[in-house]
C-alpha cells in the first residue's frame, strides 16, 4: 500500500511546478490539476529574468528572491538543458537613487559609471543574475516534475470543494485564477506585452522601469531578444495591441542604438497576477487545508523557489 501523503496542487505555471518539484523531493505524492497547461500559462508568456519587479512585501520578496537565485545556481545553471544562463542586469535611472531594496538578495551589486550611461541617465544598479529562458525553462521544469513522479491533469475548478472532497491538503498556485476561485479581489491583472526580435549580439539585460522611458526593457535570451514592455493594471486584453508594439520598439531604440533596426520574430501578451502582497499562508476549511501561493506580480520566476520552499514547510506542518 502507498503510504506517501497525497498533495494536490492547483495550477501548472512556474509556481505550481516549482512547488511540485520541492514537494516530490520531500517525499510526497503530488498531483496537479490545472485549467491551462504549459505552454498556455501566463508563465510561458514571461521572458524571464531574475529581478524582483512588481512584488510585495519587500522583506519577504528579498528573502524569496535570494533563495531562488541560490537554488538556480545549485540546481539549474549547471544543467545545459534548463534554459538558465548568467546575465548582467542593469537597471538605469534618470535621477539619483538609494540602495536597491533587494540588495540583500544578491552577493553584490555595483553602479554603472556615467561613461556607461547615455546622457539622459545618471544612476543605476548592476548585478549578475540569472535568465530563465521560458521557451526552454518551462519545459525543463515540467520534465523534472514528471521525472520525479508528479502527475498532471487538465481540469478547471469552479470551487475548491471539488479538490477538498478528495485531498486533505491542497496547494493553490492558480495566480490570477484565485480572483474567482477564492473570491480574492486583491489579485488583479497587470497586462504585459512583449516583442521578440532576432539576436543582434546585444548580451546584457537593460531596463528603465522608473524613468522617462519606462517600462523599457531589453532581455537577450538564448535564441531571441525580448523587448518590453507594458504594465497596464486591470487591463484584461490578451490580444497584441499594435500601438503597444510601436511604443515598445520606440523605447528599445531610445535605450540602445543597437535596436534602430530589428527583425520581429514574435509577440506575446500575458496578465501578471499582481496583489498588494504575495499570499503565502494556510487557510483551513473544516479539517482540510489550502496552502496559498499566488499573487507574484512581475516576479513569479524570481520568487519561485523561495516561495516553493516556504510552501513545503507549511505542508510539512500540516502533515507531520
Ligand atoms: C510579459 C511578461 C513578462 C514577465 N517577465 C518576468 C520576468 O522577467 N521575471 C519574473 O520573475 N517574472 C516575470 N513575469 C511574471 C510571471 O510571469 C508571473 O509572476 C508568473 O508567471 C506567475 O506564475 P503562476 O504560476 O503563479 O501563475 P500562472 O503562470 O498564471 O499559472 C496559473 C495556473 O493556474 C491555473 N488555473 C487558474 N485558475 C484555475 C482554476 N479555476 N482551476 C484550475 N486551474 C486554474 C492556470 O490554468 C495555470 O495553470 C512576466 C509576466 C509577463 C506577463
Closest CA to 71 of 82, 81, 60: 82
Going from the Cα of 300 to the center of ligand 1, the distance in angstroms, rounded, reads 7
Instruction: Look at residue 197 in the predicted model and tell me its pLDDT.
Output: 98
Going from the Cα of 316 to the center of ligand 1, the distance in angstroms, rounded, reads 25
Nearest Cα residue to atom 7 of ligand 1: 48
Q: Which atom of ligand 1 is nearest to the CA of 174?
A: 34
Hey, which of 20, 43, 129 would you mutate to test ligand 1's pocket, going by the most ligand atoms within 8 Å of its Cβ?
Answer: 43
- Under 8 Å between Cβ of 48 and 132: yes
What are the cell numbers at 253? 531604440
Q: Which residues contact 100 (CB under 8 A, 6 or more apart)?
A: 91, 109, 125
Instruction: Look at residue 118 in the predicted model and tell me its pLDDT.
Output: 87
Confidence label for 210 from pLDDT (cuts 50, 70 and 90): confident
pTM comes to 0.97
**Four-point Cα dihedral 112, 114, 118, 119, nearest 10:** 150
Instruction: Look at residue 3 in the predicted model and tell me its pLDDT.
Output: 64
Q: Which atom of ligand 1 is nearest to the CA of 270?
A: 53
- Under 8 Å between Cβ of 69 and 108: no
Residue 2 has pLDDT above 80, yes or no: no
Instruction: Look at residue 147 in the predicted model and tell me its pLDDT.
Output: 98
Task: Write the pLDDT tens digit of every residue in 153-164.
Answer: 999 999 999 999
- Which uninterrupted H or E stretch holds 59? helix 58-75
Going from the Cα of 43 to the center of ligand 1, the distance in angstroms, rounded, reads 4
Residues with CB under 6 A from ligand 1: 10-16, 33-36, 41-43, 45-49, 156-157, 173-177, 181, 192, 194, 229, 270, 272-273, 294, 296-302
Task: Write the pLDDT tens digit of every residue in 237-255.
Answer: 999 999 999 999 999 999 9
What are the cell numbers at 174? 492558480
Nearest Cα residue to atom 52 of ligand 1: 46
Residue 115 Cα distances to 48, 90, 121, 163, 211, angstroms: 28, 14, 10, 57, 19
Residue 220 has pLDDT above 50, yes or no: yes
Distance of alpha carbon 226 from alpha carbon 224, whole angstroms: 7
Q: Taking all residues of the chain, what is their mean pLDDT, rounded to a whole number?
A: 96
Hey, which of 35, 150, 154, 229 would you mutate to test ligand 1's pocket, going by the most ligand atoms within 8 Å of its Cβ?
Answer: 35
- Under 8 Å between Cβ of 130 and 86: yes
Going from the Cα of 197 to the center of ligand 1, the distance in angstroms, rounded, reads 22
Confidence label for 39 from pLDDT (cuts 50, 70 and 90): very high
Tally of CA atoms within 13 A in the half-sphere of 277 that contains its CB: 10
Nearest Cα residue to atom 41 of ligand 1: 157
Nearest Cα residue to atom 9 of ligand 1: 48
Closest CA to 48 of 93, 102, 87: 87
Residue 53 has pLDDT above 50, yes or no: yes
Task: Write the pLDDT tens digit of every residue in 83-138.
Answer: 999 999 999 999 999 999 999 999 999 999 988 888 889 999 999 999 999 999 99
Going from the Cα of 97 to the center of ligand 1, the distance in angstroms, rounded, reads 30
Backbone angles phi, psi at 120, to 5 degrees: -75, -10
Instruction: Look at residue 1 in the predicted model and tell me its pLDDT.
Output: 39
Amino acid at each position: 500500500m502507498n503510504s506517501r501523503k497525497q498533495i494536490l496542487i492547483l495550477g501548472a505555471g512556474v509556481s505550481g511546478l516549482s512547488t511540485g518539484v520541492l514537494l516530490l523531493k520531500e517525499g510526497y505524492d503530488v498531483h496537479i490539476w490545472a485549467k491551462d497547461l504549459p505552454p498556455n500559462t501566463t508563465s510561458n508568456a514571461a521572458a524571464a529574468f531574475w529581478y524582483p519587479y512588481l512584488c510585495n512585501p519587500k522583506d519577504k520578496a528579498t528573502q524569496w528572491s535570494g533563495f531562488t537565485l541560490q537554488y538556480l545556481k545549485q540546481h539549474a545553471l549547471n544543467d545545459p538543458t534548463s534554459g538558465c544562463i548568467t546575465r548582467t542586469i542593469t537597471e538605469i535611472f534618470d535621477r539619483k537613487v538609494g540602495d536597491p531594496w533587494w540588495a540583500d538578495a544578491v552577493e553584490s551589486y555595483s553602479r554603472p559609471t556615467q561613461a556607461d550611461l547615455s546622457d539622459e541617465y545618471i544612476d543605476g544598479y548592476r548585478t549578475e543574475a540569472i535568465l530563465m529562458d521560458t521557451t526552454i525553462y518551462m519545459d525543463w521544469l515540467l520534465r523534472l516534475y514528471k521525472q520525479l513522479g508528479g502527475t498532471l491533469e487538465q481540469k478547471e475548478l469552479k470551487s475548491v470543494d471539488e479538490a477538498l472532497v478528495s485531498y486533505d491538503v491542497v496547494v493553490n498556485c492558480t495566480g490570477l485564477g484565485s480572483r474567482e476561485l477564492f473570491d480574492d479581489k486583491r489579485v488583479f491583472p497587470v497586462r504585459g506585452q512583449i516583442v521578440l526580435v532576432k539576436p543582434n549580439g546585444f548580451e546584457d539585460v537593460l531596463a528603465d522601469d522608473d524613468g522617462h522611458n519606462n517600462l523599457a526593457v531589453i532581455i537577450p535570451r538564448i535564441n531571441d531578444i525580448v523587448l518590453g514592455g507594458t504594465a497596464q493594471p486591470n487591463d484584461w486584453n490578451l490580444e497584441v495591441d499594435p500601438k503597444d508594439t510601436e511604443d515598445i520598439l520606440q523605447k528599445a531604440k531610445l535605450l540602445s542604438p543597437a535596436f534602430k533596426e530589428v527583425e520581429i520574430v514574435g509577440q506575446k501578451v500575458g496578465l501578471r497576477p499582481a496583489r498588494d502582497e504575495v499570499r503565502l499562508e494556510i487557510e483551513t476549511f473544516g479539517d482540510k487545508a489550502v496552502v496559498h501561493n499566488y499573487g507574484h506580480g512581475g516576479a513569479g520566476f524570481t520568487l519561485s523557489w523561495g516561495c516553493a520552499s516556504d510552501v513545503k514547510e507549511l505542508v510539512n506542518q500540516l502533515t507531520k
